[in-house]
Structure 1
């Protein structure tokens, strides 16, 4: 006699009776649909909409789901498509009860809260497809088990800006990843995180859509199910902001039900066009006053420039455009046009597409476009032209241990054959060669460099705690541990930046406003010049502060010079005899340090006000000026600076200029990332650094040399990134994104300096984007890891150009 096995509906109704609750109509409907599929010999999949389930409905549903392992249900999909509040503990219990039969989980985590998100990220899920829309996290940190997951959709997670270094280690089978309209922007950290995904074949940061001239249809991406594709084609949905593909493109992809890509995008991606939510990150970051203009521009840049829909791009258009330099494509159908939709800011980096293709050789589809052999070849060539895989052109990662062993072996050979063998630079075996090798190895193993804010708060002076607001800073020229910074309140503070101990403190005494100009003397390393925006100019001896002294310093240990109105810059010549001051005028003043007198004022040196004046590092009479009149000029005091030695022009106003340490070059930085290197001998253009502009006329850019004159570092006041480029080739080595102390808080670059004593070290004066936030000095060490990135330097990996056989 056959035993009747109760259906899912019957089991659920029985469980409801035991718990004394009425059956939920949505759950009954889900069970009924599953039974219909079972009777039709179709794949039996159960789809549950959590939105329709109240707390009282969960216990009987859990009873049924506990026994799914013994049922004929092959897979369970859980969907949550509203932001109504749901009990996160019940939802987690339901997922655990379904266990290995959990296939698709689609969540709006605003419904569940932060605790739910933390549990999912730290414990993991057994699902194969996870779609998560969240405004709760800004750095992706997945540490739980996601062994079954092949598709992860993080589209419209509007707070997501970066990754923990090992966030993808827990999902070795992930094939498809989508992060449209997030705030991901750093190419280097993104590639470092994604390289931990051995199975990744499809990646999306935007939709690059082919637009048919006759009719454009809207679909979510390659990876729609057959039913969805048929629905879209039969109804001819007009393009309203999602991925646009021609009907012929659908045949390029496999839309079978068993293909993991078929679950990459659910149909709600086609119909849900809600604008991203702007999240207010509350913080107590202090007192730094940022203008309303800056805040408006930042929000505009974040949600307008990055996420705007760009004009259609012709297939034959030059690759150097705002789509990230996508390679030109030709097909049998002729010229095609592509339109980006819902782009993350990383897509607006120059050569974005080539960088991703060259760095992730296993990738097959990027932003809906398949990667062909010609794309790989072009990406390899483009990468080698515009990027450095490792410092100093190193092609492969090496471990520091191997380099040390090779150096010791070579040293022992040199001792034996010291009279016969003299290694040359070209042979690549000098100590200079090994120093560069160490740098290449260490930088290559620390994609997430060590960032350490200099502790300037809580310093006790005179029995009270002081909170400083730095506005300018300079490294000491001969003592590697010292740094001086001036504050918005007119204070001058000398600090040991290694021990974070204050060495000297000079109060403003009501005589100074914001300190904008600082310069150490070289032959007298205890002395420095400080100038403020109200024109005050003083020379201090930090060894005499607070002591009685004789001579021109008097008892206060300082000399006061004639004021220079609206001062912005001061600089001392190489012999410590003279210094120059410039400001919001067309004039430059020359001062004699020994007697404290102003010698002369040179008038009308530019057509606009002079932002920065700099002496050469070795010639005491040569100096350069940069102005918003778009000119950089070199002058010689020996020739009475009436006519410049030369004039070099840029297309925008010049923010600053500086000499290379050997005075061979002048580095000129104009508004909005126009950075050029000039030959100091005659002003000829030597190199233009390929940095994308933002379109802002107030994006003031500053650049300095690092590692002598080997590299330059560049940052701008409306961006949170420091760019590092080779000073000889212009190739980009690395971008470093600044992150604030609180989650998701962004910072912009006010000033920056390369450490003169330590290779690949620098400091950045950064301020928060948020009004009423204080600025801080951040020390950056590219040779050390931040601690959350795994150090895999002992695992050699070829550079992208070699991985594709070029």
Structure 2
């Protein structure tokens, strides 16, 4: 029989639930674990104080079976038990020469900030967190006093995630894991997390899935003849197997492959100069191309599959940042670029050299009327008009064919309009998002004097975008306020309930991935990319970013889902210390970082997964 393992990881830098649980799952003998500890505990075992005054296990099991309809008397018994517990715990701490912490915010086992002076009533806990059969577990968690916590303890539903992910674990953070704890954890996990993509319940090998495809079966659960009449006719379709393969590959890649793709000093005559990306966009029809603009006003077209430069446009005149980029769909060699000084230009990449030239060919270049303090440009579905918005209350409409500004819509919002986006399928409908907290839908056929509707966020809106089929709007407001709205009338479809930081400058951006199946979200004060199901809001995975050269965290400036590859995305990441550094990093969720050495430019960025770093 293998020796049982106890592990203490208090005060480490660990923060990623997914990679941490995957690493610890390789230790089947791990029975005691802690990332934070009770004040009175020196080792990883169960805390004696947290077992004093609580209902015994026999009563706990019977309460779990009685159900909600017979819980009135049990509730009073639990209240009395909680009162007795509070006295017992205080007495125990005094005997142990410990004092309770002050009302400074501390993490509890749900990953939320709390104060020891504010303990919820047990009946509120029962109503909001679990049913009557989980009273004992809820009381124990609310009474827990944290000490030496690692960052992972502040993650929402941290305890439940670890309990479900490590089924052999018996003690977590000096609290024993009882049957009711496991029941509660399973319910919380199923509500807030997605175990595998597309609601897959269990891991399957790629070989097994391919064998089933060749045999014309979808899974072992169809071998039961009594269930054949309920068979889904789409189970054997190509999307089903594609999604199954993705779920299998993602489930086996706890540490996704990340690599930068913008360190191309060789395009300069001065080899020491480095590109500094500020904005990027995938090509709409060529899966290998991407364009990005830099902080120095350059526009670069790159083959992101092999790292070769397909076109390079140097900055013209004074150095200004490229904040707006948008490809044309019907004329895919053309690209609209907008600088923060208001200069708007249409380029034809067929006329762009791959390197810096002594002379620059201006053929295929169209310059438009300036839009002051520009932050965004976007072309409509007909490729005949585009919008420009920025740090003003106005939006300009341009004609691509003539180069003229058709109209300036004034005072569309009460504060600056950070983003204006056309719908994917209608050349007339567009949405605007503003720091005045409003998102508005407009129709050009109404010469937009009044919006079709207005919907509001609780903080300033950073951006808005349409889902690929135009059924939804994805709205991102300051500090992780991310919502999906019904595009037809602006009603909230899903609130993704991402943890806030309290910063008024934590600008959040979100986009779709895998069509409209998932959303990816990141913020400029955080080094994490969050991936959520767009239909349920459940969290699928978090990806943390670190600079492999310095070990410093890299925050998320912008990000995009790859329109041609499921579970692929790119992120513009910025490291501020010791020096400002920006990289476009490709993220492949289906491949493991253990293959990073095979990638020609994947050596300097890693995901943040080291245990105890």
Quick check: TM above 0.5?
yes
For 1:203-282, what aligned pairs fall within 5 Å after superposition? Answer: 203-208=33-38, 218-220=40-42, 223=45, 246=90
- Distance in 2, matches of 1:333 and 1:410, equals 51
- Distance in 1, matches of 2:257 and 2:329, equals 30
- Distance in 2, matches of 1:760 and 1:707, equals 7
- Determine the structure 2 residue equivalent to 1:587: 394
The answer to whether the aligner puts 1:611 opposite 2:611 as a matched pair is no
- Determine the structure 2 residue equivalent to 1:379: 185
- Determine the structure 1 residue equivalent to 2:69: none
- Determine the structure 1 residue equivalent to 2:513: 706
- Distance in 1, matches of 2:378 and 2:135, equals 52
How many residues align? The count is: 530
- Relative to 1, partners in 2 of residues 1:749 and 1:575: Cα closer, same or farther, differing over 3 Å? same
The 3-state SS of whatever aligns with 1:392 is helix
- Determine the structure 1 residue equivalent to 2:70: none
Check whether the contact 1:314–1:335 (CA below 8 A) recurs between aligned residues. Answer: no
The answer to whether the aligner puts 1:390 opposite 2:193 as a matched pair is no
- Determine the structure 2 residue equivalent to 1:182: 12
The 3-state SS of whatever aligns with 2:244 is helix
- Distance in 1, matches of 2:407 and 2:512, equals 30
The answer to whether the aligner puts 1:650 opposite 2:480 as a matched pair is no
Check whether the contact 1:672–1:701 (CA below 8 A) recurs between aligned residues. Answer: yes
- Relative to 1, partners in 2 of residues 1:490 and 1:219: Cα closer, same or farther, differing over 3 Å? same
The runs of 5 or more residues in structure 2 that have no matched partner are 49-87, 219-227, 355-359, 597-613
- Determine the structure 2 residue equivalent to 1:202: 32
Check whether the contact 2:509–2:523 (CA below 8 A) recurs between aligned residues. Answer: yes
- Per-residue deviation, 1:788: 7.2
Decide which moves more: 777-786 or 336-345. 336-345
- Offset from partner CA, 1:756-788 (integer Å, 9 cap, x none): 000000000001141522100100001111117
- Relative to 1, partners in 2 of residues 1:314 and 1:576: Cα closer, same or farther, differing over 3 Å? same
Structure 1 runs (4+) deviating above 6 angstroms are 306-309, 317-320, 331-336
For 1:33-432, what aligned pairs fall within 5 Å after superposition? Answer: 173=3, 175-208=5-38, 218-220=40-42, 223=45, 246=90, 310-312=115-117, 314=119, 316=121, 329-330=135-136, 337-410=143-216, 426-432=233-239
- Relative to 1, partners in 2 of residues 1:788 and 1:476: Cα closer, same or farther, differing over 3 Å? closer
- Distance in 1, matches of 2:296 and 2:142, equals 58
- Determine the structure 2 residue equivalent to 1:115: none
The answer to whether the aligner puts 1:628 opposite 2:458 as a matched pair is no
- Per-residue deviation, 1:458: 2.8
- Determine the structure 2 residue equivalent to 1:470: 277
The 3-state SS of whatever aligns with 2:167 is coil
Check whether the contact 2:46–2:176 (CA below 8 A) recurs between aligned residues. Answer: no
- Per-residue deviation, 1:462: 5.0
- Offset from partner CA, 1:690-744 (integer Å, 9 cap, x none): 2111111111110000000000000000111000000000000000011212253
Return the TM-score normalized by structure 1. Answer: 0.61
- Per-residue deviation, 1:311: 3.8
- Relative to 1, partners in 2 of residues 1:225 and 1:716: Cα closer, same or farther, differing over 3 Å? closer
- Relative to 1, partners in 2 of residues 1:450 and 1:316: Cα closer, same or farther, differing over 3 Å? farther
- Distance in 1, matches of 2:349 and 2:555, equals 31
- Distance in 2, matches of 1:337 and 1:448, equals 35
- Distance in 1, matches of 2:91 and 2:291, equals 64
- Determine the structure 2 residue equivalent to 1:741: 548
Structure with bigger gyration radius = 1
- Offset from partner CA, 1:105-138 (integer Å, 9 cap, x none): xxxxxxxxxxxxxxxxxxxxxxxxxxxxxxxxxx
- Determine the structure 2 residue equivalent to 1:82: none
Given candidates 699, 720, 724, the residue that maps to 2:531 is: 724
What's the C-alpha RMSD, in Å, of the aligned pairs?
3.5
- Determine the structure 1 residue equivalent to 2:380: 573
Return the TM-score normalized by structure 2. Answer: 0.80
- Offset from partner CA, 1:604-655 (integer Å, 9 cap, x none): 1111111111000000000000011111111000011111111111111111
- Distance in 1, matches of 2:524 and 2:346, equals 29
The 3-state SS of whatever aligns with 2:146 is strand
- Distance in 2, matches of 1:624 and 1:649, equals 13
